[in-house]
Amino acid sequence: MDFQQRLCNMSDEQYESLSNILINSISDNELIQT
């Protein structure tokens, strides 16, 4: 199963937690760069 199919099969809750992880790691990276 490829990544896009996995995303489609995810529940809203899983999608939300994944989004939070991505947002957190992005903001962490920005903090490091400044």
3-state SS string over 1-34?
Answer: CCHHHHHHHCCHHHHHHHHHHHHHHHHHHHHHHC
**How many domains are contained in the chain?**
1
Fill in the amino acid letter for 23.
I
Angle at 21 between CA 19 and CA 22, to 5 degrees: 65
Query: What pTM, to 2 d.p., does this model score?
Result: 0.47
Answer whether residue 19 shows pLDDT above 80.
yes
Average pLDDT over residues 4-8: 77
The answer on pLDDT for 28 being more than 80 is no
Structural domain harbouring 18 = 1-31
Q: How confident is the model at residue 24 (pLDDT cuts 50, 70, 90)?
A: confident
Which of the two residues, 3 and 31, has the higher pLDDT score? 3
pLDDT at 3 over 80: no
